[in-house]
């Protein structure tokens, strides 16, 4: 009788573990996906030649805005700036190409001075 109880508890624990495993497997999709693998997330939509929602909204602005509407270039820069801000990352910023060109020229270094040669004599 003393040997039956540990064997029974071991079998019960193994059965419980298998029930939990297969229960989770069934709840996650089990055999419904090819090869029983977990379902993969749907691919994100890629931006096509234009952004239809942005284009539609901007067309409404052009139709009814009283003041001067900014150029498409400024609109696109604003859209990119706004999209990057959604990252909530203070190190990710958008720098307009003209400003970046000036910045790059300022950071490009040059060295001016006398040339000197060091000669080692024995």
Q: Quick check: is 93 in a domain?
A: yes
Q: Model confidence over 18-45: pLDDT tens digits?
A: 888 877 777 766 655 555 555 555 555 4
pLDDT value at 67 more than 70: yes
Range of the domain at 63: 52-107
Rounded average pLDDT over 47-68: 82
Q: Quick check: is 19 in a domain?
A: no
Q: Quick check: is 4 in a domain?
A: no
Specify the DSSP class assigned to residue 51: -
Our count of domains for the chain comes to: 1
Specify the DSSP class assigned to residue 100: H
**C-alpha distances in angstroms, 31 versus 28, 40, 41, 70?**
9, 14, 17, 55
């Amino acid at each position: 009788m003393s040997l039956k109880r540990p064997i029974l508890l071991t079998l019960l624990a193994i059965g419980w573990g298998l029930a939990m495993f297969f229960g989770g497997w069934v709840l996650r999709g089990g055999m419904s996906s090819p090869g029983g693998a977990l379902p993969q997330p749907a691919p994100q939509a890629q931006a096509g030649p234009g952004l239809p929602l942005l284009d539609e909204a901007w067309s409404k602005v052009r139709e009814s805005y009283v003041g001067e509407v900014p150029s498409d270039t400024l609109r696109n820069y604003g859209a990119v700036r706004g999209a990057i801000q959604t990252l909530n990352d203070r190190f990710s910023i958008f720098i307009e190409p003209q400003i970046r060109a000036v910045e790059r020229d300022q950071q490009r270094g040059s060295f001016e001075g006398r040339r000197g040669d060091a000669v080692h004599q024995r």
